[in-house]
Amino acid sequence: MDQLATMISLVQTAAFVTVMPALFDARAHNLCIAPITDPDIVREFQIVYRTDAPLSPAARLMVRLIHDHFQSTAS
């Protein structure tokens, strides 16, 4: 069972609730929604890569671009 199907099944038991993207069609699963307005949600992300092989030039560039983007938006 995939993660979404598992989450829907848990919520349908009425013992659980979840936060889902607004695009999720809760009504198609006989569930109700309570919109969250103006959320201030912060997530931590990681760049993950192998340690036993060097990164390609394109991968190194991607890591640098991602890092630079988030460093500039943090300030």
Residue 6 has pLDDT above 90, yes or no: yes
Whether residue 47 contacts residue 54, with contact meaning beta carbons closer than 8 Å, is answered with no
Number of domains in the chain: 1
Residue 31 has pLDDT above 90, yes or no: yes
Per-residue b/e over 50-73, b at no fewer than 16 CB within 10 Å? eeeeeeeeeeeeeeeeeeeeeeee
Boundaries of domain holding 66: 2-73
pLDDT digit string, tens, across residues 38-53: 888 888 888 888 899 9
> What is the per-residue pLDDT for 56?
93
Whether residue 59 contacts residue 49, with contact meaning beta carbons closer than 8 Å, is answered with yes
pLDDT band at residue 71 under the 50/70/90 scheme: confident
